[in-house]
């Protein structure tokens, strides 16, 4: 997508290389899914005129193009294979923002068990509440359950009985 937007920017710009700003955002959803979203901003020091050239450039590159107005300003929205691009005119030129779809990168997994019967300290026993895991039994340490704050730990994420150590002194 970066290359496509760069190519479109180059086609529109006759004054030199466009300025690019790229960023990647990562987050973990409350369901434990890790995602990544990629954004590229292109600033072009050209007068885009009435945005016709922008719409044409995206259409020629095979994107689906939609023209719309935002607060009286003409804008172009283009999409291709889940990628989105939004172009608008600024005082200083043209701004194209491209966004790649969030890609699934990881799934939350419960951290390793804090203690097992063979690693429990002398004079201690495995916590009955979490069975030695140390993490909250309900949410497994994510802090959320079915997308909501965990009712057991309230995003404390550790076992309330042992505080995360997985073991308690023999009483």
Contact 164, 153 (CB under 8 A): no
Q: Does 54 bind Zn ion (CB under 5 A)?
A: no
Q: Provide the 10 A C-beta neighbour count for residue 1.
A: 18
159 contacts Zn ion (rule: CB under 5 A): yes
* Binding flags for Zn ion, 100-129, as an x/- string (CB under 5 A): ---------------------------x-x
- Shortest Cβ 32–Zn ion spacing (Å): 12
Of residues 73-102, which lie at the interface with Zn ion (CB under 5 A)?
none
Applying CB under 5 A, which part among 2-10, 34-42, 43-51, 160-168 lies near Zn ion?
Answer: 160-168
- Rounded least distance, CB 3 to Zn ion, Å: 44
Is residue 11 within 8 A of residue 17, CB to CB? The reply is: no
Q: Which of 85, 86, 74 is nearest to 47 (CA)?
A: 74
Q: State yes or no: residue 9 binds Zn ion (CB under 5 A).
A: no
37 bridge partner residues: 25
Q: Report the SS3 class of residue 102.
A: coil
Helix (H, G, I), strand (E, B), or coil: what is residue 170? coil
Only segment of 25-33, 44-52, 86-94, 157-165 that touches Zn ion (CB under 5 A):
157-165
């Amino acid at each position: 997508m970066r290359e496509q937007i760069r190519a479109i920017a180059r086609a529109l710009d006759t004054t030199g290389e466009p300025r690019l700003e790229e960023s990647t955002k990562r987050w973990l959803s409350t369901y434990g899914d890790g995602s990544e979203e990629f954004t590229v901003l292109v600033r072009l020091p050209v007068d885009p005129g009435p945005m016709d050239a922008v719409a044409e450039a995206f259409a020629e590159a095979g994107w689906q193009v939609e023209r719309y107005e935002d607060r009286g300003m003409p804008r172009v929205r283009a999409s291709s294979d889940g990628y989105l691009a939004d172009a608008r005119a600024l005082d200083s030129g043209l701004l194209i923002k491209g966004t790649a779809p969030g890609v699934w990168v990881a799934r939350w997994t419960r951290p390793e068990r804090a203690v097992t019967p063979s690693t429990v300290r002398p004079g201690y026993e495995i916590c009955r509440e979490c069975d030695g895991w140390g993490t909250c039994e309900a949410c497994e340490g994510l802090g959320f359950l079915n997308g909501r704050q965990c009712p057991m730990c309230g995003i404390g994420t550790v076992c309330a009985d042992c505080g995360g150590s997985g073991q308690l002194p023999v009483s």
